[in-house]
Amino acid sequence: MEFEGELKKRGFRKISSSEFSLQFRRLGLKAPRPRFGRELGYLFYANQYTVLVWTTWLEEQQMAREEDAGWVLIAERDKVLYFSHPMHRTKNFIQNLLMQARIACWKVRHRPLCPECKNFMNIVRGRALKQRFWKCDRKELHTGGKNRFRSWDYGLPEEAIKYIQPIRKKREKRYAALRAEGKKPHQAMLGRKRWGKREQ
């Protein structure tokens, strides 16, 4: 599969069924609704962060799950620090999922160092719902005792920036239209049923 080959070239590996089942039981996860099958997933690890790519492809059934989306996320151990926007199975689904995976992989592989204390910077939330940026809060090591920050796009290659910018402009235009209608953006995301924990 070309998609898998492109991921493997960048250091991703397939998540095995046994590995998935082990983590699922360890974390005590509970799906938001009844599901059959298991989506194909891939993992990349570097600099203390993990990139996970979840497709909509059910490997055993050799079919895509209906009404599902692909996801790319970045985690530190069991804590998810970043979720991509969901990618639905439209015309460019595979290309978009691969590009989001490549960008997340690049961020983790090139996790920035604090310009002052040279420690790894951390992914933190911004004021907006999906906003992220890089931060070093080791104030005791910084001149003036202040935090140090980097843009979420810090150091990204030009190819990635050219891919991201039109998507963001289109998204902002859609958000502005919703606000003009008196609606709030992200309602679908806020209303989405989430994975929970099974009762012990």
Of all residues in the chain, what percent carry a pLDDT higher than 90? Answer: 50
At residue 170's C-alpha, the angle toward residues 165 and 171, to 5°, is: 95
Strand blocks (E) in 15-103: 29-30, 39-46, 49-58, 63-64, 69-76, 79-83, 87-88
Both tokens of residue 93?
């689904």
Give the pairing type, strands 122-125 and 132-136: antiparallel
Over residues 79-105, the pLDDT tens digits come to 889 999 888 887 888 999 999 999 999
Per-10-residue mean pLDDT of the chain, 200 residues long, equals: 89 84 55 61 95 83 74 90 87 92 97 97 90 96 95 96 93 84 65 47
For residue 68, give the nearest of 39, 30, 42 by alpha carbon: 39
pLDDT one-digit tens code per residue, 110-129 = 999 999 999 999 999 988 77
pTM of the model: 0.81
Q: How far apart are CA 50 and CA 73, in angstroms?
A: 8
